[in-house]
Structure 1
């Protein structure tokens, strides 16, 4: 364990009052059922295009039977049980059953390739796997020889084959039999579960090298639920729309908040259905990664790009920005600005709000940096975006902007019970109940990250402002140094550019060891299609659109605008438009849509090198 470096500035408190915490997640669930048995817990898509509602009491029956089934299959406390599935109700039920059996959930993204899936399961010592369907089962079959600890696969969809591959219903049936023999099977397991027992094993997304398994004990999730409740932002009358991957801690922390607060969650992991579902569900809050907010921003701007509509749009946002500035300063809007804002809302902002269902009180952004300009744009439209910060190693949330104290470009103040600090080199340190206990089986990595006195070295660089809000500059390892000795923070530049150029889906700044900064960008599919249709290029193949002069000119103008906002050594001297967008399937994005820089350099190395020809 390394010594704590000199702390330059600290913020937060470990002595803040929190609501009472349960001893474990299983107890959180049973307590919520006892308080809210007849209230709605979840909504899920049904087979005929509508939505089905599930109460907490109905959920309890399935969770307890499944948990008892795990016990009947020999699962012991803290045994690792994996889930390989997209975001759906069965993922949540499986996770709650694992918690009620006092076992530990190991999360696996459904897009994970067979060899990486096998590595995670082997490293975790997984004994049982909940597999979504035959596709996930096929990965296991491909690697079965290298999974000595795996005894059973449970299919969420499909029929089982013997004891090695069981159906969901077969496990529930085994659970019912076990409960008939001992009705206290599950409650006894929950009662014996302690705050320091392993609850979840989440593997880092692995932007470089093999992923590391962060061991998150029960206290991480009970604390997250309690500290989110302490924010006093949510009540049991709220409705959440949940689409985030539940294998990621961002999705998992939202489930902890639901158990603590008791709000309703509509669950549908199909990203292409978000726009369709929001007006139907009409949520009051939703969490998302920045890419979703960027797409909303780009789509609205694209629809108001020219003519009279553009003039009304620009006028409305000018009014919205002026009104937002006055609110932040605590000033009255005044009669004239108030009337103008009412007109702007009726003509423009109400239509944007309706896209999100018309009832949104808060949007929450996390997992990567959100452009301050995009966050301010939403605020001007009367939609509050609360940007927060967390890591796999901190159970998903350690800081959040609060309404009335929002600092755009920051990730807000630490949550109650958490401290954050900056070291002399700018690295952000975190201490609090949500910090992992170790990287599984990796003492060297644990000693590097876990410092003395309970501090975690996050690997992120940033500052703490005079109000105690934290601003993240970049990943420490992603800070790049040009051959001229100048440091550049790529993520900040990339976030700025996305606010300027809605046509672009992804951008990666390149400068490490190079004589100047360059960038590769990919076009957003929807934005590019809209641009093509409005510029007489509808017949051009999407793969060829990147080479069109009109497209290149738009991107070039955006980089010129960006460069006017940067220090001269940060300016982008060259850029290339990639022939396709970056994807999770091709390994260039993590499931939380972060760019894997090494993979992009590997896949598009020749394009990158072409920008430096003659400059070596």
Structure 2
């Protein structure tokens, strides 16, 4: 089996003149070809060696998504080092814990703002010897800090003087060697360091290759943090197949960069697809009756074409879909760059309604499932065999089983080496037969499609002894265009309640249309007409729920959940414990 370094070298030599990494500078996108990519990897690896960085040492990467992120990563792990990705949203206390726990020797920071964050805790970082800054606008950097350019130049001089080549060092790395320690962001507790080997990573890349078909002109737009296993593994997969990656500065710039880069591949958590769905739906609702009917006819035509493929009715459906594509659907897709053909979703459940909506547009979302502990995806819906509401079938070489309390178990070459410096924690999740106990609840259908229902730890047990899966109820709320976030409550309580965060963009436009006067968000959500609106939404959802699952009361709150206030993980998952503590008084009132 290969290593990450070997896969990179093979691809770089095969496509030396191919544009691979696209980045924005002064408002314009520029490209790095594989030849330059390889040269920078070789030089950076040699530069690290000059700094005393040796095989098995740890290097932390504290940066947004940039070409240099991938250069530092492949240079480090390809030559036998171990890297530790850090989310840029991490608090100083979390940074301190992860850097010290991992024993990182060198830290790479992207800019002066993040450098200041590191310098604020510098005295507490016991093992850091050097800081490397990727982009610096200042002549004044700390004595221990070097620029990326300086390290690359030192490496170039070292290689020219006969230092051992990157390729030679790559050849000594074994598939069983640890490549990275990825700390789980976690919705509760202290971050855990997940140890992934080269074997884990290459097994994942090969498995993805059997379910995702890419072409050499494909381009991935990168905006999910590279510190997240989904983004990182998909970027490896794309790059090692000779395709390109375009870096969007952040999620806020996604819309304009979709238009500029015109990518063919989009990988995202469901929340982004939900936002696009809501944006389009809300826009349609504000159009004339004629345009509304035209839009819904076009969607219906797309659905009929999808459902009638391979049948006698296919020709009629095909013609209708061609017309719908020409006058309606193509204009919507143009806003997404016009070239998208592959969309992948992971990290949380995708609403069936959202998946079907995109499919009707002619954009199939392939939803999958996986964990950091499984090196990313273990199941995926194939493009030609999608079942929305499921996370697809097991990838090549991966076994899925359902254990006690319907817990999902996974086994295969993608299972992590273990938790760093935590043998007891590792033994709790990986049993003697090699099964990883995921903590997720779900079931397999007769065709081996997996459906996720909830997290074991999130299941609510009411005071009446009934188990309630909050995620499904929350998803039902969040499908509504008036709702941004929802948290269902009721553990050890007599009935279920919910905290709802409105989508204020949609709600404020509704208030204007309804002539509801307000001067602030708190005033708006306390308006009797607005409360009635959300009560009607809740009533509609309750009709589909069992008696013990029904949401008896709800509270609207004015502040959206944010990563910065630690209510969300960097991958936009709700931290229930934080929410329950922050809104303790609100929750108590619902149970008075």
Give the structure-2-normalised TM-score: 0.95
Give SS of 1:431's match. Answer: strand
The residue aligned with 1:513 is 492
The residue aligned with 1:221 is 201
**Deviation of 1:180 (Å):** 2.0
Residues 270-321 of structure 1 show CA distances to partners (whole Å, capped at 9, x for unaligned) of 1111111112211111010111011111111111115412222233333333
1:117 aligns with 2:95: yes
The residue aligned with 2:537 is 558
Residues 197-231 of structure 1 show CA distances to partners (whole Å, capped at 9, x for unaligned) of 11111111121111110000111211122222222
Do 1:43 and 1:51's aligned partners in 2 also have CA atoms closer than 8 Å? yes
CA distance 1:494–1:324, change in 2 (3 Å): farther
Equivalent in 545, 565, 571 of residue 592 of structure 1: 571
Deviation larger for 539-548 or 174-183: 539-548
The residue aligned with 2:106 is 128
1:281 aligns with 2:261: yes
**Deviation of 1:589 (Å):** 0.4
CA distance 1:520–1:162, change in 2 (3 Å): closer
Do 1:68 and 1:101's aligned partners in 2 also have CA atoms closer than 8 Å? no
Deviation larger for 387-396 or 529-538: 529-538
Equivalent in 399, 407, 410 of residue 419 of structure 1: 399
The residue aligned with 2:301 is 319
The residue aligned with 2:374 is 394
Do 2:461 and 2:467's aligned partners in 1 also have CA atoms closer than 8 Å? yes
Mapped to 1, the partners of 2:502 and 2:207 lie a distance apart of 39
Identify which of structures 1 and 2 has the higher relative contact order when contacts are C-alpha pairs closer than 8 Å and 6+ apart: 1
**Deviation of 1:160 (Å):** 6.6
The residue aligned with 1:28 is 7
| Counterpart mapping for 1:196-595 below 5 A | 196-305=176-285, 307-308=288-289, 309-327=291-309, 330-499=310-479, 501-536=480-515, 540-595=519-574
Do 2:305 and 2:314's aligned partners in 1 also have CA atoms closer than 8 Å? no
Give SS of 2:308's match. Answer: helix
Give SS of 2:433's match. Answer: helix
Do 2:47 and 2:151's aligned partners in 1 also have CA atoms closer than 8 Å? yes
Do 2:197 and 2:416's aligned partners in 1 also have CA atoms closer than 8 Å? yes
Residues 25-48 of structure 1 show CA distances to partners (whole Å, capped at 9, x for unaligned) of 11111111111111110211121x
Do 1:43 and 1:54's aligned partners in 2 also have CA atoms closer than 8 Å? yes
**Deviation of 1:185 (Å):** 3.2
Mapped to 2, the partners of 1:539 and 1:419 lie a distance apart of 55
**Deviation of 1:431 (Å):** 0.9
**Deviation of 1:532 (Å):** 4.5
Mapped to 2, the partners of 1:228 and 1:334 lie a distance apart of 31
Do 1:28 and 1:259's aligned partners in 2 also have CA atoms closer than 8 Å? no
**5+ long unaligned stretches in structure 2:** none
Deviation larger for 289-298 or 97-106: 97-106
CA distance 1:553–1:321, change in 2 (3 Å): farther
**Deviation of 1:137 (Å):** 2.1
Give the structure-1-normalised TM-score: 0.92
CA distance 1:179–1:535, change in 2 (3 Å): farther
Give SS of 1:303's match. Answer: helix
**Deviation of 1:91 (Å):** 1.4
1:106 aligns with 2:84: yes
Do 1:203 and 1:212's aligned partners in 2 also have CA atoms closer than 8 Å? yes
**Deviation of 1:170 (Å):** 1.5
Give SS of 2:440's match. Answer: strand
CA distance 1:551–1:87, change in 2 (3 Å): farther
Mapped to 2, the partners of 1:41 and 1:536 lie a distance apart of 52
Mapped to 2, the partners of 1:548 and 1:254 lie a distance apart of 46
Mapped to 1, the partners of 2:189 and 2:415 lie a distance apart of 22
Give SS of 2:535's match. Answer: helix
Equivalent in 589, 604, 613 of residue 583 of structure 2: 604
Do 1:71 and 1:101's aligned partners in 2 also have CA atoms closer than 8 Å? no
Deviation larger for 225-234 or 165-174: 225-234
Equivalent in 126, 150, 156 of residue 128 of structure 2: 150
**5+ long unaligned stretches in structure 1:** 1-20
Give SS of 1:595's match. Answer: coil
Do 2:222 and 2:248's aligned partners in 1 also have CA atoms closer than 8 Å? yes
Mapped to 2, the partners of 1:165 and 1:570 lie a distance apart of 56
Mapped to 1, the partners of 2:41 and 2:353 lie a distance apart of 44
Do 1:302 and 1:530's aligned partners in 2 also have CA atoms closer than 8 Å? no
Mapped to 2, the partners of 1:92 and 1:535 lie a distance apart of 51
**Deviation of 1:538 (Å):** 8.3
Mapped to 2, the partners of 1:33 and 1:249 lie a distance apart of 23
Give SS of 2:571's match. Answer: coil
CA distance 1:269–1:396, change in 2 (3 Å): farther
Do 1:203 and 1:214's aligned partners in 2 also have CA atoms closer than 8 Å? yes
Aligned residues: 588
Do 1:219 and 1:433's aligned partners in 2 also have CA atoms closer than 8 Å? yes
Mapped to 1, the partners of 2:563 and 2:379 lie a distance apart of 27
The residue aligned with 1:7 is none
The residue aligned with 1:51 is 29
Residues 562-603 of structure 1 show CA distances to partners (whole Å, capped at 9, x for unaligned) of 112222221211111111100000000000000000001111
Mapped to 2, the partners of 1:373 and 1:416 lie a distance apart of 28
Do 1:283 and 1:357's aligned partners in 2 also have CA atoms closer than 8 Å? yes
Mapped to 2, the partners of 1:130 and 1:528 lie a distance apart of 43
**Deviation of 1:384 (Å):** 0.3
Residues 107-159 of structure 1 show CA distances to partners (whole Å, capped at 9, x for unaligned) of 11001011110100111001000012223222322222322111111111225
CA distance 1:269–1:429, change in 2 (3 Å): farther
Do 1:369 and 1:492's aligned partners in 2 also have CA atoms closer than 8 Å? no
The residue aligned with 1:17 is none
**Deviation of 1:429 (Å):** 0.7
1:65 aligns with 2:47: no
Do 1:44 and 1:89's aligned partners in 2 also have CA atoms closer than 8 Å? yes
**Deviation of 1:336 (Å):** 4.2
Give SS of 1:452's match. Answer: coil
**Deviation of 1:536 (Å):** 4.3
Do 2:308 and 2:317's aligned partners in 1 also have CA atoms closer than 8 Å? no
Deviation larger for 343-352 or 474-483: 343-352
